[in-house]
Structure formats: structure tokens, C-alpha cells
């Protein structure tokens, strides 16, 4: 069977969808990418005018496609604007032929697996029946797609494999209110940050100009919105920030003793101090031994940030420790000059093997949902793994073994959630063990997880891991 003739669909043309398409093309497939918007780069096409990267350009990049010098003259210290991020992703898509595969303004409104009956699928001992990406050829995915072009309307397409790349932030999360106590009784206008960010910049500025604005929630989008309001209205019409819990928002440009915390957190040495799923006795013992050192380092970093950032002054000192926040990766980067403008006072994991495939859902993969520090290259690693799966180079274990691995990650997630204070852990957060996770993907694809070539043992353990370490994996 020539798998290269198989039909592959990708939903979403954000960073994960672009990487998934690029690496599927590299394996000889010709995927179709359905994108509901009019351009690639996902949420980066719908942002506030003041939005920039939270992580340096050196970490937020595809492994084999560096940032243009004019956008990131010093990649380790550059935080490109939203429009530059979108331009970078568009250039990547154009360079590797991804744009030719994208159907724009095409929204997938339904996906249905058509094949063996559900009872038979539930009894399979191998994923997709035989452990292969495309099964035995008897099943397929039917996608119902709504096209903006009226001449096409709604159409149904058939594919042999489906890759979901819809990300974590493509759907607005709106709380449920008691009857008679929600937005309907508010006399002003209510907008979700996603709707506000999707407005034209001039319209968004005009909407809030001269108005009293309250922002609910202190995540990245909340703080960006507050900063935008302060920029437009100044102190004459101050914006009010309402939130349930404080969490650590730091200045990424702060350097502690010549050491960047972000770089330190991306070394093998830092992960050696953290328990990991499926780590075995020896690594578990080392993590236990080094736990006091990890806590001490986090305490020192916390104390440093408290001296450099006026958290106490504004009543924004988190209840959780910095160490707890690291495990749940509840860290964010402050908008520029944020405090200069400020005033006033589950389940833990999606049940996906390698965070990509459900052991009992055939012929489908997910790329780009796991939460981590710098999203592009972990998503790219997932895309490479899925491409190797499609090509037959990744051999999956039995369903029971896959579910066992999922359970290991779930147990680790529950541990990390407890250690991070319970409230602050995002579902499928792998930020604290990202290199460990990439090691698993490397081994599956037949590559050595040790990527620091020629640097010796010290380089392997002390130098931060980043996108370029995985560039040779294709």
C-alpha cells in the first residue's frame, strides 16, 4: 500500500497547523489545510495593537527557519510585535509550500469517523486496528466544511487521516452566570477579549476611548487589554482590573546575576530536579535529592522578582510560591511599562498518547494543545512525530501500553497540580518537563535525544535546549 496517496486533512493554519503541513509535505503527502480565517498564523492575526511575544525570538521560532534580522536583530533579547510574528509565519508557510495547501475562509463545522462499528473499535488491541496511521483502509473521516465563498457553500470531504491543529486559544471561554445576574443586566457593552482583539486596531482604540472599562481576568490577554486601555485613556479614565487570583507575571528582560531564568529553566539540569512521568527509580531518586535545591533556587528568584517588580505596592503578590507557579507554568510576561501605568490594590492531562493521539480514536492526531513555555518548536516536534507516524517510521505500542503511558502523564499531572498549589495548573501543561517530553518523541522517531553535538557533558546538561537543537530532525 502506497501511503503517500492517502488523503490527509489538517484543521487550522496557526503555528501547529503550518508545522504539521510542512512536515507532511516533506514525507511526500499532499495535505489539505482548512483555515476559517483569511490568513495563516492563527490568533496572531487577531490581536491588540500592543501585543508582542512573551518569549524571546530565539525560543519562539521554527527549528529550520530563523527570524529575519530586521525583525529580531538580537534574537535572545528581541520580542517581536504581533504583525511581525504573523509575517514570520507567513514567510515560513511560503518558503515550504504550505500556502498552496491552505483553503482559506473554510470552517470545519463537523467531523465524523466512518468505518468499523464502535464496538469493534473499542475491542482493538492496536491503535486503528493494526497500529498503522491509516488502519486497514476501511475507515475514513468525513468533514463538513462551511466555505465563505457562496458558490461552494457547505461541502463534505473524505479523508484517510485527520490532524487537529486548533490550539488552546481558538475558542472563547465565557463563564456561566446565574439567571438575572449576567451580561443582560449590565448597562454597558460586554465583549470577550477574543472579540476585542479581533477588531481593527483603530476601531478597538475608538471603542474604549473616553470610557470607563473593567477587565475581568489577569491572564496575558487581560493584562494586554488593561495596558491598551491605559495607553488610550491614561489616568483620566482609568481601567479597572478585576481578578480572582494573583499569579506570577514577570519582566522577561530582568536578568538575575547574569543568568536569565528562562534559559535556566530550559536546561536538562533544571529538569533533573523535577519528577517526570515514567522516570524510573534512579531519576526519581535524583529528583527527590535535588528538590531542596530546586526550591532554594525558586525562592531566590522569587525574592529577586519581588524586589524588582512592585507587586506588594499594587496588591498583586501571588498566593502561590514561584516554585508552584513553575510546575503549573502559570507564568506570563508583563506588557511593557505595565506597573508604570498601574494603580490600586479536572483532570490535568488530555488522554493523548505522546500528547498527540488518543489510544481509541483511530486515524486522528492532535498537534499544538499541550501548554509549554515557548510554543512553536514543541508544536513543531509534535508535527514531526505525526509526520513520522504517517510515514510508518513511528511504531506505536499496543492500546494497553499507550493507555498506560497516558496514565503515567496523568499521575504526574496530578502530582504537579498538587505541588503547584492546585489552582494554577493548566490542563496538559508540560512546561516543566519539555526536554523530557522531546526525548520521548526523539526516541520514537529513531533519533538520539542528546542533541548538543560536540559540546560534551557540561553542554548537554547546562546549556538551554531550544529550537535549533532539533533542526536536523526531518
Residue-wise pLDDT tens digits, 375-402 = 788 999 999 999 999 999 999 999 999 9
Higher pLDDT, 304 or 422: 304
* Alpha-carbon distances of 393 from 105, 154, 308, 446, rounded to whole Å: 34, 36, 50, 8
Do 252 and 263 form a contact (C-beta atoms < 8 A)? no
Residue 203 or 39, more confident: 39
Residue indicated by cell numbers 516533506: 26
Q: Which of 166, 80, 51, 62 has the alpha carbon at shortest distance from 374?
A: 62
Which cell numbers in the block locate residue 54? Answer: 512573551
Report which DSSP code applies to 147: E
Range among 196-210, 235-249, 392-406, 421-435 rated most confident: 392-406
Question: Which comes out higher in pLDDT, residue 10 or 412?
Answer: 10
Q: What is the pLDDT, as a whole number, of residue 178? A: 82
* Predicted confidence band of residue 10 (pLDDT cuts 50, 70, 90): very high
Average pLDDT, the chain: 87
Determine the pLDDT at residue 197: 81
Of 348 and 144, more confident: 144
Out of 158-162, 341-345, 397-401, pick the least confident.
341-345
Query: Region 236-252: what's the mean pLDDT?
Result: 76
Give tens-digit pLDDT for 74-98: 998 899 999 999 999 999 999 999 9
Q: What local confidence, expressed as pLDDT, does residue 123 receive?
A: 92
Contact by Cβ (8 Å): 23, 63 = no
d(CA 241, CA 334): 14
Backbone φ and ψ of 27, nearest 5°: -90, 5
pLDDT classification of 437: cutoffs 50, 70, 90? very high
pLDDT tops 80 at residue 219? no
Q: What does the pLDDT read at residue 172?
A: 64
- pLDDT of 102: 98
pLDDT-based confidence at 317, cuts 50/70/90? Answer: confident
Amino acid at each position: 500500500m502506497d501511503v503517500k496517496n492517502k488523503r490527509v486533512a489538517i484543521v487550522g493554519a496557526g503555528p501547529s497547523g503550518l508545522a504539521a503541513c510542512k512536515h507532511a509535505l516533506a514525507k511526500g503527502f499532499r495535505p489539505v489545510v482548512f483555515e476559517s480565517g483569511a490568513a495563516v498564523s492563527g490568533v496572531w492575526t487577531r490581536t491588540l495593537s500592543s501585543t508582542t511575544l512573551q518569549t524571546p525570538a530565539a525560543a519562539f521560532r521554527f527549528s529550520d527557519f530563523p527570524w529575519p534580522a530586521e525583525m529580531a536583530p538580537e534574537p535572545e533579547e528581541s520580542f517581536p510585535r504581533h504583525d511581525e510574528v504573523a509575517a514570520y509565519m507567513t514567510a515560513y508557510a511560503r518558503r515550504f509550500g504550505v500556502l498552496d495547501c491552505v483553503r482559506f475562509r473554510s470552517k470545519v463545522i463537523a467531523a465524523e469517523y466512518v468505518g468499523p462499528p464502535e464496538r469493534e473499535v473499542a475491542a482493538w488491541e492496536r491503535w486503528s486496528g493494526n497500529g498503522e496511521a491509516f488502519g486497514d483502509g476501511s475507515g475514513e473521516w468525513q468533514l463538513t466544511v462551511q466555505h465563505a465563498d457562496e458558490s461552494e457553500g457547505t461541502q463534505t470531504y473524505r479523508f484517510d487521516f485527520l490532524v487537529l491543529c486548533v490550539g488552546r486559544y481558538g475558542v472563547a471561554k465565557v463563564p456561566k452566570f446565574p439567571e438575572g445576574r449576567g451580561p443582560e443586566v449590565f448597562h454597558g457593552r460586554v465583549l470577550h477579549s477574543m472579540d476585542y482583539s479581533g477588531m481593527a486596531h483603530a476601531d478597538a482604540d475608538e471603542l474604549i476611548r473616553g470610557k470607563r472599562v473593567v477587565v475581568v481576568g489577569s491572564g496575558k490577554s487581560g493584562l494586554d487589554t488593561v495596558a491598551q486601555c491605559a495607553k488610550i485613556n491614561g489616568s483620566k479614565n482609568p481601567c479597572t482590573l478585576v481578578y480572582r487570583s494573583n499569579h506570577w507575571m514577570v519582566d522577561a528582560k530582568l536578568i538575575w546575576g547574569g543568568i536569565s531564568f528562562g534559559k535556566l529553566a530550559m536546561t536538562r539540569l533544571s529538569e533533573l530536579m523535577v519528577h517526570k512521568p515514567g522516570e524510573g527509580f534512579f531519576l526519581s531518586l535524583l529528583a527527590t535529592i535535588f528538590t531542596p535545591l530546586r526550591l532554594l533556587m525558586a525562592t531566590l528568584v522569587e525574592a529577586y522578582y519581588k524586589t524588582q517588580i512592585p507587586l506588594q505596592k499594587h496588591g498583586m503578590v501571588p498566593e502561590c510560591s514561584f516554585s508552584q507557579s513553575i510546575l503549573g507554568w502559570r507564568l506570563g510576561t508583563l506588557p511593557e511599562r505595565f506597573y508604570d501605568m498601574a494603580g490600586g490594590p479536572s483532570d490535568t492531562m488530555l488522554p493523548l498518547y505522546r500528547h498527540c493521539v488518543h489510544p481509541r480514536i483511530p486515524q486522528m492526531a492532535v498537534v499544538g494543545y499541550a501548554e509549554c513555555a515557548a510554543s512553536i518548536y514543541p508544536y513543531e516536534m509534535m508535527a514531526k512525530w505525526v509526520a513520522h507516524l504517517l510515514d510508518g517510521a513511528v511504531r506505536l505500542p499496543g492500546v494497553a501500553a499507550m493507555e498506560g503511558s497516558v496514565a503515567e502523564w496523568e499521575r504526574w499531572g496530578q502530582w504537579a497540580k498538587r505541588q503547584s498549589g492546585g489552582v494554577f495548573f493548566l490542563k496538559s501543561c508540560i512546561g516543566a518537563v519539555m526536554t523530557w517530553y522531546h526525548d520521548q518523541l526523539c526516541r520514537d522517531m529513531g533519533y538520539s535525544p542528546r542533541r548538543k553535538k560536540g559540546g560534551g557533558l557540561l553542554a548537554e546538561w547546562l546549556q538551554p535546549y531550544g529550537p535549533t537543537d532539533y533542526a536536523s530532525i526531518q
